[in-house]
Structure 1
C-alpha cells in the first residue's frame, strides 16, 4: 500500500512541477509580488481609512464629533475611496497572476503552520475580491443581493484588514528580502547555480 502511495506522490509531484514550469514567467518573481503587494497594502489601507470615516460619520460612537468644514471634505474622502477601490481590482488580479503558480506546489500542505497559512490566504483572496467588487456594484446603485450593503461592506473591511495583517506577518521574511530593487536572489527552495570550480594550476 505504501509503495502505491509513494508512486502516486511521485507522479503528482512531476505533474505539478510540469504545470509550474508551464506557468512560469520572468515577471512571476517574488520581487514583483512584493512590489504589487506594497501597492495593494497602501490601497487597502486608504480604502479602510476613508470607509471608516464615512461609516463613523453616519453612525458616530457616543461622544464622537467630526469637523463639518470644509464642506467638500466628505466628497473628497469618498471620491478617493471609490477611485482607489476601483483601482484595487486590476492590482489584485495582477498580484494573483504573479503568485498563482504557487497553488501547484507539491505537497499542497507541508505542515500545520503551512496549512494555516494557506487557509488565511484563501480568506484574504476571497474577501479582497469580494470587497471592491460589491463596492463597484454599489456605485451603480444596483443591489442584486438581500443583505445590507453598508453593514456587510463594513464587516468585510475588518476581516480583510485582519487577514492582511496575518498575511504580512507570515510573509515578512520574503517582504524584507525582496523589498529593495535588485533583490533577485533565488528563493530558499530554488537550487542555486554552483560556483565554477577553479582548476589547480599545478595539476
Structure 2
C-alpha cells in the first residue's frame, strides 16, 4: 500500500508542533555552543590525566596519532585538580542532556527535508548535522553508561569515547561555523519568518508556550544537576546525588567510611595473600630487587598527606589523611636517590580494568605521593587497599592503585 506523500516525514505538514521555530532552536544551540566547548575541553584534560604517554600501561587508546597533539605531563598541583576538571566534565554533561535532547527534537524536520542537498553549503550542513546527531547520541550515551557503571560497551570505554568525542566535536564545530551567524540573527529578529522550514504550515493547537517549553528544558537540566552534582562535594550535599551510583550517604562510619569504587571481593583479592605473614612488596630498579613486608614499611619514615580520591565517573571524596612511605623514598631503595623515574605499579587485583598503572617521574617525586599504609589514623581496610595502596595528588582514582604487589622504577 502506497503512503501518501503528505504523510511522509519529508512533507512540510508532517511535523505539527507549534513549538518548533528558528528562535527556539537558536537559543538552545547557543547554550550548547558554550556548554559543549567546556565539556570537550575538560574531556581532553581527563584523558591527559591518565598519562597516556606511559604506554602501553595507561594508554587505552592506541594509534591516536595527531589527536594526541595536546598531551602533557599531568601536574600534581593543585591537589584537587582532577577532582575539579572531571567533576565539571561529568556534571556538566549530565546537565546538558535535556538541552541536547530538546535541540535534537527541534531540528528533526531538517533530517528529512528534500532534496537532500540544494547547494554545496546545504550539503555540508546536512552532513555535519548527521554526524552531529549520531556523534552526540553515541558520545553522551557511552558517557552516561560509564557514569552509571554499566560497562556494556563492545570494547574499552576509553577509545570508544575518545574517538567518538572527536568525531562529534568536529561535526559540532563545522555546524557552529555554518549556523552561529544565523542563530544570532534569529535571536535579534523581532519576529520569526513564517517560511522557515522548522515552522509547521499547519501547526496543532499549542498546549504550552515556547517560553514554557524553555522552562521545562531548564527545569530538566536543573533537576539533573541537583541529583548528580552532590557526589563531587562534601557534607550534606553528597546525599542529594540520588541518581549517581556513588551518591547518597557515605558507605559507613569511622576512618574508612568514605567512598570506594571496587571492593576487595569484587577485585578478586585473596585474604591469604594480604596477610601480614604472606604479603611482600617487590621493588625493582637500578640496583636490583628489594622485598619489603608491611612491618618493614611501617618501620621506615612515615609521612602524611591530605588528598582526595577522584574517579573518571565524576565522583570524588573529600580530603582524607593518608599516612605511609613516600614513593621517592621507595625509589631511593633501588638506586634512584636523587632522580626518581617513572614507576610501573602492579596490583593483586584479578578482576576489572587497571590491574596495573604507571606514574610519571614528577608524580613519584612529589613529597605528598605515598605508598599509603593507613588512612585517617587507622590501618587501611581491605576495600581501601590493605595492605598498601598508592595515593598521588591530582591523579585519577584508577592510578591510585590498591592492593599493591610490585613497583618497577625506571622500566615501563
Matched, 1:38 2:45: no
Paired residue for 1:73? 81
Paired residue for 1:52? 44
Paired residue for 2:168? 160
Q: Greater relative contact order (Cα 8 A, min sep 6): structure 1 or 2? A: 1
**C-alpha separation between the residues in 2 aligned to 1:18 and 1:152?**
33
| Structure 2 contact 39–92 (Cα < 8 Å) conserved | yes
Paired residue for 1:196? none
1:118 Cα deviation (Å)? 1.2
In structure 2, runs of 5+ residues without a counterpart are: 55-70, 198-412
**C-alpha separation between the residues in 2 aligned to 1:49 and 1:172?**
20
Paired residue for 1:200? none
Matched, 1:142 2:134: no
**C-alpha separation between the residues in 2 aligned to 1:18 and 1:113?**
20
1:100 to 108, 120, 127: 108
Paired residue for 2:94? 86
Deviates more, 1:74-83 or 1:122-131: 74-83
1:51 Cα deviation (Å)? 1.1
* Deviations 1:107-132, CA, capped at 9 Å, x for gaps: 34324442332122111100011101
1:32 Cα deviation (Å)? 0.9
Q: How many residues align?
A: 178
1:74 Cα deviation (Å)? 0.9
Q: CA distance change for structure 1 residues 89 and 16 in 2, over 3 Å: closer, same or farther? A: same
**C-alpha separation between the residues in 2 aligned to 1:101 and 1:165?**
21
Matched, 1:186 2:193: yes
In structure 1, runs of 5+ residues without a counterpart are: 1-10, 191-203
1:141 Cα deviation (Å)? 2.3
Paired residue for 2:122? 114
TM-score norm. by structure 2 comes to 0.39
| Structure 1 contact 89–129 (Cα < 8 Å) conserved | no
1:21 Cα deviation (Å)? 3.0
**C-alpha separation between the residues in 2 aligned to 1:104 and 1:65?**
46
**C-alpha separation between the residues in 1 aligned to 2:193 and 2:89?**
37
**C-alpha separation between the residues in 2 aligned to 1:91 and 1:142?**
23
| Structure 1 contact 88–132 (Cα < 8 Å) conserved | no
Choose between structure 1 and 2: higher strand proportion.
Answer: 2
**C-alpha separation between the residues in 1 aligned to 2:101 and 2:12?**
18
Q: CA RMSD in A?
A: 2.8
* Deviations 1:73-121, CA, capped at 9 Å, x for gaps: 2112211111111123221110112111233433343244423321221
**C-alpha separation between the residues in 1 aligned to 2:195 and 2:177?**
18
**C-alpha separation between the residues in 1 aligned to 2:45 and 2:21?**
36
1:171 to 176, 179, 182: 179
Q: CA distance change for structure 1 residues 138 and 189 in 2, over 3 Å: closer, same or farther? A: closer
| Structure 1 contact 86–136 (Cα < 8 Å) conserved | yes
2:15 to 20, 23, 29: 23
TM-score norm. by structure 1 comes to 0.74
| Structure 1 contact 51–81 (Cα < 8 Å) conserved | yes
Paired residue for 1:4? none
| Structure 2 contact 129–175 (Cα < 8 Å) conserved | yes
